[in-house]
Structure 1
């Protein structure tokens, strides 16, 4: 690796959002059963994301589906966003991530987390934070949903990302690695 290059640790994943109503708990008066209108349309899109637990930096982009082609586009876009920095990118073992067709950019080094272990990836908490205000909401169109998600992302701070993604085992490893 070249001198004077920053090496960053990022956690990557995708989440699907769509017009199907996400239901959640609500508080009501004693004896009052809450009711929520639910719709089941299948239109949806995917948000690809990468977050940096140490700084709270976050990179989010929308794609129509989850596949190797969209993942490659996300990697290429992320590589440009990183500029001259390098990234160690934690990813799960989804087929889109492990495909032999994926061409990893020179400045992104993949680290595959164990299979079936989403709890090891801090970005899962970001998806929970994103979807919480969407619960029990109906959207008339994908565009209305996109606008609401953009509002949520516009309010997202570096401090929030640090707070939800700073797993002790990750931070300890990063501080240890930085000491060498």
Structure 2
């Protein structure tokens, strides 16, 4: 350890140094002024100043040396770090990306090639693909799977349905008899088809590994009828051989008996067997049809996605019976996990205050 005293030059008065130490907008600059303040009012060994200011002796030597040689400007000039050689400023980048928003919202930008071509035209020379990835990352863009929407869906009708759902539910509740004081349960119902046709899906794999998964086309199917009550996190389901009015009648009777102590308002889609003349609706159930081509409004669709991802992903089944066994396991797991079920299905429009 040396004995040399580290002393700051009198470029500024003590009061001026103290003011900059407290008022500069950048923490790293304020810290440098703190070092200069110590070297100015109490010159001593660099190791002692470093101990007092919470830095290294090397930093003290560097800061005091450059201040003594170049003056205050040396401390307040940005160093080598940061973004110094950008093609466009952040504001220019934002303006450049703006025309791509409409295409992005409609899911038309699948790769960065289109943006890269426009960017190269803008700056007048070629750039690396990684430049575009960093550009998109700086502005919060990310690559994700779009939410599917049927081309014939009516967004305005969908919005009206969600806004008016509570009013529809209240109107149906008013149709029960005066003596019926059972608590009301808001539910949503749907059917899902599960079969032995499977296609390879994306999966995780370590470096150097390319998974091989079996694929088959065997046209054997079964159907799951399910209804969820999002608020309490409950589900009732039946596995039936077909989608038809007769099967729907069986299912509604099962739901009615399971929740016999409740009055049920149930959202359904526009399938033919939900509005057939032969449909028998139990006395404690009322149906609310959702808009056409709008599966995204039905929370039971999330149940099908969950089952297919967690229990059927890249699997084949040698028989329909084995597939049904796995299907039963998945449905039972969901039935026992009320928090998970509530998280999957508690859509805002179903939070009706009775």
Give the root-mean-square deviation of aligned CA atoms: 1.4
Quick one: distance in 2 between partners of 1:110 and 1:135?
A: 33
- Is the aligned partner of 1:150 residue 2:346? no
Quick one: distance in 2 between partners of 1:36 and 1:30?
A: 17
Quick one: distance in 2 between partners of 1:145 and 1:3?
A: 42
Aligned length: 174
TM-score (norm. length: structure 1): 0.91
Q: What is residue 299 of structure 2 aligned with on the other side?
A: 122
Deviates more, 1:26-35 or 1:110-119: 26-35
Higher helix share: 2
- Is the aligned partner of 1:159 residue 2:336? no
How far off is 1:4 after superposition? Answer: 3.0
Quick one: distance in 2 between partners of 1:144 and 1:89?
A: 31
- Is the aligned partner of 1:136 residue 2:314? yes
- Is the aligned partner of 1:41 residue 2:218? yes
Q: What is residue 281 of structure 2 aligned with on the other side?
A: 104
Deviations 1:130-158 (A, max 9, x none): 11120101111111111112222222211
Quick one: distance in 1 between partners of 2:208 and 2:275?
A: 51
Q: What is residue 190 of structure 2 aligned with on the other side?
A: 13
1:70 to 247, 256, 271: 247
1:55 to 223, 232, 236: 232
Quick one: distance in 1 between partners of 2:241 and 2:289?
A: 24
Larger relative contact order, structure 1 or 2 (CA cutoff 8 Å, min sep 6): 1
How far off is 1:108 after superposition? Answer: 0.6
TM-score (norm. length: structure 2): 0.47
- Is the aligned partner of 1:168 residue 2:348? yes
How far off is 1:3 after superposition? Answer: 4.2
Give structure 2 stretches of 5+ with no counterpart.
1-175
| Rg (Cα) greater in structure | 2
2:265 to 76, 85, 88: 88
Give structure 1 stretches of 5+ with no counterpart.
none
Higher strand share: 1
